[in-house]
Amino acid sequence: MSETDTVLGELRAIRALLAETRPEPAGGLLDKGRVAALTALGESTVDRYRAAGLFGPADLRVGGALRWRRVEVLAWIAHPRPDGELMDRETWTAFWTELQKRTARK
């Protein structure tokens, strides 16, 4: 099985998880547990990646708790780097800004 097939298989598994999980919270915001499940990372790994600048999507503080925009997390998963790895915060921020501009133009 090629690396591309492996990545595609993982994305299909993530989509299946989405279909099986409880409804999204109001406002399309995800908590750390939900983000961890979608990205197949542990919650402590999400924390470490965030601290190191390796976790692409920006987090928000809502009532003292960390939340992420669902649409941004899913877009981050769907748009890996050419080598198949997910983008770090700096790269993702630039890409996400451009993606939103292109989407707004359509």
Average pLDDT value over all residues in the chain: 85
Rounded to an integer, the average pLDDT of 60-89 is 93
What distance in Å separates the CA atoms of residue 2 and residue 17, rounded to the nearest whole number?
23
Confidence of residue 93 (pLDDT cuts 50, 70, 90): very high
pLDDT at 22 exceeding the cut of 60: no
What distance in Å separates the CA atoms of residue 37 and residue 19, rounded to the nearest whole number?
13
Q: Give the domain ranges of the chain.
A: 3-105
Residue type, 30: L
If one compares 60 and 8, the residue with the highest pLDDT of the two is 60
Rounded to an integer, the average pLDDT of 77-82 is 93
- Tens digits of residue pLDDT in 29-60: 999 999 999 999 999 999 999 999 999 999 99
